[in-house]
Amino acid sequence: MTLLTDLIKHRPPMLLIDRYISGDSGTASAHCEVTVTNDNLYYREELGGLPAHVGIELMAQTIAAAAGYRNRGAGEDIKIGFLLGSRKYRCSVDCFALGETYAIHVAEIHAESSGLSVFECEIRHLDTPIASAKINVFQPPDEAAFIEDTYA
């Protein structure tokens, strides 16, 4: 069993997904799950769940798990990635409801040697797609040098 915390650098309270279900390092894809609880950082009592826009972060963290799974398979360290933006985010629900479990699926559809990638993402509830997007991410080849250059 692969632990989510072995694949991504996120830690509570910013770790929003619960379980790593499966992945494929060859296609950079992953399937993760989240069960919404009221101790989630983004839980809103007035909604009875997580606002719909939080789906983008659920997708991004699942992308991180896909990248982490690929890196581990190649014998590399887990790296930091950056969410650059999303395209065509669509969500058919107002919120991700308290107590419900959601499946998040991501698959890389474009990758460049510079570290830029695009992922096709989908969130399902009871096998019904309820959210989708294309997510643009950047994983610098040398994260230490990138952070030093960015924040120097």
Q: How confident is the model at residue 1 (pLDDT cuts 50, 70, 90)?
A: confident
pLDDT mean over 123-137: 98
- Mean pLDDT for the stretch of residues 24-51: 96
pLDDT tens for each residue of 53-97: 999 999 999 999 999 999 999 999 999 999 999 999 999 999 999
Which residue segments constitute the domains of the chain, with CATH numbers given?
A: 4-151 (3.10.129.10)
Structure confidence at residue 152 as a pLDDT band (50, 70, 90): low
Whether the pLDDT of residue 12 is over 70: the answer is: yes
Task: Provide the 8-state DSSP code for 115.
Answer: S
Angle at 101 between CA 100 and CA 103, to 5 degrees: 145
